Structure 1
Amino acid sequence: MADVMIAVMPFHGHVAPLVAVAEAFLAAGHRVRVYTGAAHADRFTAIGARVVTWASAPDFDEHDLPATFPALRGKKGPRQMLTNVEQLFVRTGAGQATDLTRAYAEQPWDVIVADGLSIGAHFASELTATPWVTVSIVPLTIPSRDLPPPILGLQPAKGLAGRLRDRALRGMTRMVSSGIQRAYAEERTRAGLPLDDLALEQAFMSPQLVCASGVAELEYPRSDLATQVVFVGELTRPRANDAALPSWWPDVESCRDPILHVTQGTLNVDPHDLIEPSFTALGRQRVLLIASTGRSDVAELPFTAPPNARVAGFIPYDSLLPRLDVMITNGGWGGVLAALAQGIPLIVAGGDLDKPEIAARVAWAGAGVNLRTGRPRPRAILDAWRRVTSDGSYRANAQRLAKSLSAHDGPREVVDHTMALLARA
């Protein structure tokens, strides 16, 4: 039996996969504590884990980030991404480390298992000299000499000119992110740690074990993939739950037309970005559109839905996904993997953060269309839908990925790999 500390950044999209991981550790008989924001504590206490909440680190409401991080106000696109990384994920690091080391002093853990954006787990691992496992809940951001910089949403270039392009972009990215690199150095100092020479992308990933969600078929080929990386498939598979189906669900059960799901995830949930143009594009087509707002307390939209559309805050995926023909998504990794695990082709509008990278990988794998923006025009959505429905290769590739994903049991594999690491320590 091991004592496990799980560190989770307090976002719904981060919490859901780590709940599954925590459940797997508990089912295997291990003791589990979870470090996360107060808003998500109940998710973990409900499964029997003890919770340590953010205290020295500034706890926040993911639906109103500027209230805690004013520098984010009014920013979108690349500026939002850079500010997000610095303010939320880097400059909270020393505070996270303080909270975690306090918890360690009260009861030592054997291993800290953290989502791939918890820099505080890295610091706490160093300060306590304990093993650290990263669970990457987004595509790998470990830099490579064979690839363009991560998060730019660019597929690897071909030929000498392409390799030179990628090398130049890697240099430019280091320049643009120099402020974030300085923030990382400052947080190490605040945490009482010596400076190191790690690039920020490396600092988020454990040198001992990285459990990467997804499968190798969704990862660009690279000759320098770190040996500690293992792919574990999905972390959160849809399952039966107590969430009520919306009152209009009989319309879904009786529908004979193609069913499309439109989702903007749970972070940037302005419905004008993706839901509204999807309604404009497909409101007169012979399809049933099912839109989710990403907020359980918001089940309506600020504009009129067409007659062939239905709207809810959240919709249980165990009921919805088996009925879908196509998903139109902002590119959240969990939702993308859930759709691909069902063999559902995708139309991806990846606007910011990791979403452009996810959209590019889906297109590279041939399982969907990359709209190359988070705010697509209706015509682009209509054209993408026609491509996906008329070209059978998109569904065939999605089904190929579904077969690969079905070979994994992500949460159990995280437990097995972690226990093997402890056995070697």
Structure 2
Amino acid sequence: MAHILVASSPFAGHVRPTLAVAEALLLRGHRVTAYTGRRYARDFEALGCRILPWQAATDYDERNLAASFPQLPSTGRRAVFANLEHVFIGNAPGQLDDLRRAHAARPFDILVGEQMMLGAGMLAELQSLPWASLSVLPLSLPSRNLPPSGLGLQPLPGALGHARDALLRRVTRRVMRPLDAALAEVRKQAGLPEHQLFEQAGFSTQLTIAHGAPGIEFPRPDLPGYVHYAGLLARPIVHAGPEPDWLREVRSFKGPVVLVTQGTLNTDPQELLQPALDALRDEDLLVVASSAGRSVQRIPPNARVHEFLPFGDLLPMASCAVTNGGWGGVLQMAAAGVPMVVAGGTLDKPEVAARVACAGLGLDLRTGTPTPRKILRAVRSILAEPGFRTRTAAVGDQLHRLGGAPRAAELIESLAPGASPRVP
């Protein structure tokens, strides 16, 4: 059996699919070393992974990046670019140092890293190691058929649409030059060729495993052959222990059930949770919402608010979901056939919202801070139009058929020397 490194940035949305792949590799008999931040190391250790701690790399807590990176702006597009430069590109040399030392002590047979773990790809280049990347976000590889990633735009059809997207790609290339320059300097210091575009750096041309399915992604006629969709990698959590009263109440409710979640990162309830509760307070339905531990001021009689929600129990009962557009949560909703209202405001969330709307799985509110009126109209539209659920169920079937984490593990095994040819 192989010794496989599995590496993930310490963000919940990156860790969960990576954790699922690590578990699938362990179940197939491989030795797995996990390289991630302190906050999530125990999750990998509980599976049976050996833990490689971040030492030369700067560890951080996703809930307070400024504590480790005080130079980061707090909000706006500048904050996004600063995050990419300092948290991901700037941390790659430390990751490479950690991984080099570990490889020298106990050599790895295969490297697996989610797309923002640039140090893993650099080690693969330097040591000529097999390397698989996990695309744990909406697939952001550049394409001649799509607008550039990050703008939250759907592709436009026809000559005018192609011209618009081509122009946007040229403009975005110029905007990305500072990140390309920062990456070039990091690669130069590591002894690697300097010319590599940041938007391609985290994707292995040996094997990229995409968390998702073609049905929820934009059409890509030029999808590279090394990209394989694996469906839903991380399964939703179910409640452990005796079923609580509130969950039994939801199960027995006869009308529509609407889930509301704002994810785990940007959890200010005034952005989405409170407006959604206000919007739906007079509707003949039951709202079940996650507070992520934040205080909620106004909870109407038709709402049940809890710190965290066991999606595995709730999604089969849901008629609709209101979400901020976390990719993992959206894939879980799609897998359960639950149509969505998406309020994607920052980071990759607008990209997620655009994909949901393009695929006909729900509505894109085009903002991360929607008004109650806008939310109400969207939820009513979803509940009134059965086509949303039909289309979402079809994508859900596709997500399940693609095989999930076991299929990802099978693909990773194909990189081992002497392995059988990869089955498409």
Q: Under TM normalisation by the shorter chain, which class is it?
A: over 0.9
2:217 paired residue among 211, 216, 219: 219
Deviations 1:53-99 (A, max 9, x none): 211111011111111122334213x3332222222121111111111
Answer yes or no: is 1:178 the counterpart of 2:177.
yes
Contact map agreement 1:246 1:315 (CA 8 A) in 2: no
Letter in 1 for 2:231: G
Answer yes or no: is 1:131 the counterpart of 2:125.
no
2:378 paired residue among 384, 391, 400: 384
User: Equivalences for 1:80-119 in 2 at 5 Å?
Assistant: 80-119=79-118
Letter in 1 for 2:180: Q
**Secondary structure of 1:261's match?**
strand
Shift of 1:343: 0.6
Letter in 2 for 1:13: G
User: For residues 284 and 63 of structure 1, do their structure 2 counterparts lie closer, same or farther at Cα, with a shift above 3 Å needed?
Assistant: same
**Secondary structure of 1:235's match?**
coil
Which residue of structure 1 aligns with residue 6 of structure 2? 6
Which residue of structure 2 aligns with residue 251 of structure 1? 249
Deviations 1:214-265 (A, max 9, x none): 1111222223211100110000122545377666333313322211111111
Which residue of structure 2 aligns with residue 327 of structure 1? 321
Shift of 1:151: 1.9
Shift of 1:269: 1.2
Letter in 2 for 1:178: R
Answer yes or no: is 1:343 the counterpart of 2:343.
no
Distance in 1 between residues matched to 2:63 and 2:242, nearest whole Å: 23
User: For residues 175 and 243 of structure 1, do their structure 2 counterparts lie closer, same or farther at Cα, with a shift above 3 Å needed?
Assistant: farther
TM-score, length-normalised on structure 2?
0.95
Gaps of 5+ in 2: 420-424
Distance in 2 between residues matched to 1:317 and 1:219, nearest whole Å: 22
Which residue of structure 2 aligns with residue 70 of structure 1? 70
User: For residues 216 and 423 of structure 1, do their structure 2 counterparts lie closer, same or farther at Cα, with a shift above 3 Å needed?
Assistant: farther
Distance in 2 between residues matched to 1:245 and 1:53, nearest whole Å: 37
Superposition CA RMSD, Å: 1.6
Distance in 1 between residues matched to 2:239 and 2:257, nearest whole Å: 22
Distance in 2 between residues matched to 1:243 and 1:155, nearest whole Å: 43
Answer yes or no: is 1:355 the counterpart of 2:353.
no
Answer yes or no: is 1:280 the counterpart of 2:296.
no
Deviations 1:324-351 (A, max 9, x none): 1111111111101101111100000111
Deviations 1:136-157 (A, max 9, x none): 1111111011110012111111
Answer yes or no: is 1:267 the counterpart of 2:261.
no
Letter in 1 for 2:223: L
Distance in 2 between residues matched to 1:241 and 1:280, nearest whole Å: 27
User: For residues 57 and 244 of structure 1, do their structure 2 counterparts lie closer, same or farther at Cα, with a shift above 3 Å needed?
Assistant: farther
User: For residues 250 and 126 of structure 1, do their structure 2 counterparts lie closer, same or farther at Cα, with a shift above 3 Å needed?
Assistant: same
Letter in 2 for 1:419: E
User: Equivalences for 1:383-402 in 2 at 5 Å?
Assistant: 383-402=377-396
Contact map agreement 2:19 2:44 (CA 8 A) in 1: yes
User: For residues 241 and 423 of structure 1, do their structure 2 counterparts lie closer, same or farther at Cα, with a shift above 3 Å needed?
Assistant: farther
Answer yes or no: is 1:150 the counterpart of 2:144.
no
Gaps of 5+ in 1: none
Distance in 2 between residues matched to 1:183 and 1:57, nearest whole Å: 17
Identity across the alignment (%):
43
Distance in 1 between residues matched to 2:7 and 2:242, nearest whole Å: 30
Deviations 1:188-216 (A, max 9, x none): 133x2233322111111001000111111
1:195 paired residue among 193, 196, 199: 193
Distance in 1 between residues matched to 2:313 and 2:411, nearest whole Å: 31
Contact map agreement 2:184 2:196 (CA 8 A) in 1: no
Deviations 1:247-293 (A, max 9, x none): 63333133222111111111111111110110111111112111112
Letter in 2 for 1:281: A
Distance in 2 between residues matched to 1:419 and 1:304, nearest whole Å: 51
Shift of 1:414: 1.2
Which residue of structure 1 aligns with residue 120 of structure 2? 121
Deviations 1:356-383 (A, max 9, x none): 1111011111010001111111111111
User: For residues 250 and 198 of structure 1, do their structure 2 counterparts lie closer, same or farther at Cα, with a shift above 3 Å needed?
Assistant: same
Moved over 4 A (4+): 243-247
Number of aligned residue pairs: 419
